[in-house]
Amino acid sequence: MAVLVIADQTGGALSDNTHKTVSAAKAIGGDIDILVTGKDCKSAAEAAAKIEGVRKVLLAQSDDLGHGLAEAVEAVVTPLMGGYDAVLTPATSQGKNFSPRIAAKLDVSHISDIVEVVDASTFVRPIYAGNALETVQSSEAKKVITVRPTAFKAAGEGGSATIEDIGAGDGAGATKFVTEEIVKSERPELTGAKIVVSGGRAMGSAEEFQRVIEPLADKLGAAVGASRAAVDAGYAPNDYQVGQTGKVVAPELYIAIGISGAIQHLAGMKDSKIIVAINKDGDAPIFQVADYGLVADYKAAVPELMSALG
């Protein structure tokens, strides 16, 4: 039994999502190798080699891989699959983009967004926006899986795996990268943050969102999230969206401000340890999942919260 984990890295910095996916791989069992794809990302491979329990780190680098083009990543992974029984990828936008391609190329089912490994062939995954948990069993020779990182603890460090350069693969074919707009932020990454402060449609404008949500987040050292309604209205960038089809977070503390709590939003945050809701509508569904609810207009409540935090 051997399991390949595809690393999540940006600009050579290895994301914690990789460590969490390694934990899922350990639950499956067998030898664990990590594949790092990207450009100028040897440092990420070196960090991956230190994860405990990893046998070997494979490194593939090219421009197309640096842009994360799905065809290019899949073209590296699929030929390696002769040597593995399973391939696990963190269920980030990037992972969701290429992982199903690998399954199609191998003519096996794709098992998306698992939250639990029951045994080497049985997995639990949320369906219907997390309103149900489906347990599925695969009897296929190869398992192609994306892993919801927030559902697994990060594997520890202390390993010293070897790093092997495996070349760049066949590239992305006809698909060409043109440009990207990446939001640069000093704040913690949303899916890995210990505290998340999210704003909803009640903010009313992008200026108000920045004026209210961001200072509170910075005071708490928190990441900033948003409801779909706030993102759709242009109050916050798409990257902030927490929910069924956005990011799934499970911080120690989630503070929802002016968010009503639509099913699809709850799907992205209801596994948080402590949920705080501040909303002037006491009947808002968000209060049904909140550990602490404050029925108040955010315009008064957030300044009070800021001063109470000192």
Which 113-142 positions form the footprint of another protein (CB under 8 A)?
Answer: 113, 122, 126-140
Nearer to another protein, 57 or 144 (CB): 144
Nearer to another protein, 50 or 142 (CB): 142
Ranges within 26-45 binding another protein (CB under 8 A): none
86-90 sheet: strands from edge to edge: 110-114, 143-147, 86-90, 2-6, 31-38, 56-61, 162-165
Q: Strand, coil or helix: what is 192?
A: helix
Q: Does 182 bind another protein (CB under 8 A)?
A: yes
Segment (H or E) for 219 = helix 206-220
8 A C-beta contact, residue 225 and residue 259: no
Distance CA 73, CA 228 (A): 29
Q: Does 231 bind another protein (CB under 8 A)?
A: yes
Rounded CA Rg of the chain: 20
**Long-range contacts, 291-296 (Cβ 8 Å, 24+):** none
Ranges within 66-105 binding another protein (CB under 8 A): 67-71, 74, 92-94, 96-105
CB of 47 to another protein, least distance (A): 18
Looking at 27, 80, 168, 289, which residue binds another protein (CB under 8 A)? Answer: 289
CB of 96 to another protein, least distance (A): 5
Looking at 274, 281, 297, 299, which residue binds another protein (CB under 8 A)? Answer: 274
Largest CA distance in the chain: 60
Ranges within 49-68 binding another protein (CB under 8 A): 67-68
Ranges within 158-177 binding another protein (CB under 8 A): 173-177
CB of 17 to another protein, least distance (A): 10
